[in-house]
Amino acid sequence: MRRFIPFALLLALFVCVGGLSAKDDEPRYKTAELKHLTVADGVTLPDQINTLDYLNLVYDKLREELGKCKIADQVVDDGATIPDADAANSIVVEVKITDFQKAGFTMMHPGALSWEATVYRRSDHSVITTIPRTFKMPPAGYRNDKVLSNLTAAEAAHDIRKALK
């Protein structure tokens, strides 16, 4: 009997901790609408990157990543119809590339890409948070539209999730 008590206490602890972590995984919002990514006026990306393809790849990957992060029950496309009942508990996510800085001294470290994510309520358009971010681009030999879009989307989804916690 004495051996059973510590085992039962340990089992109860795991059940309680398991219940707490399941609560954290519940989406906070009903719907998240992801707007198509934009580039600020005057910003040009490296010549090796097709800007339109890159933006489309980031959009698709970010939509997937936001779904995995469980920010909302569902992540919908730009312009999707959302019922009025759900609008009060829905958010809109806009991501804009704000700057590209070339390093200039070597092709191994080509520079940094800056973007800004703005999250606001769908119902009254009040801003919940604005997240500025700059990250170093991978070396030229590893950089293409797909690699850079995956990095951008992963960084953005992580930062958005962190900011909305």
Span 66-76, pLDDT tens digits: 988 888 888 88
Q: Render pLDDT for 26-40 as a digit per residue (tens, 0 to 9).
A: 778 889 999 998 989
Look at strands 127-136 and 38-39 and give their pairing.
unpaired
Is residue 136 scored above 50 in pLDDT?
yes
What's the CA gap between 52 and 133, in Å, rounded?
21
Global pTM reads: 0.74
Q: Which CATH superfamily is domain 27-164 in?
A: ABC-type transport auxiliary lipoprotein component (3.40.50.10610)
Q: What is the band of 22 on the pLDDT scale with cuts at 50, 70, 90?
A: very low
Pairing of strands 111-121, 90-102: antiparallel
- 148: which residues sit within 8 A by CB, 6+ positions away? 49, 54, 113, 137, 138
10 Å Cβ neighbour count for 158? Answer: 13
What is the residue-averaged pLDDT of the chain? Answer: 79
> Strand 127-136 and strand 111-121: pairing?
antiparallel
Partners of 127 in the β-ladder? 120
Residues 163 and 153: their CA atoms lie apart, in Å, by: 15
Structure-block tokens of residue 122: 């769908």
- Nearest CA-CA partner of 92 in 114, 124, 120: 120
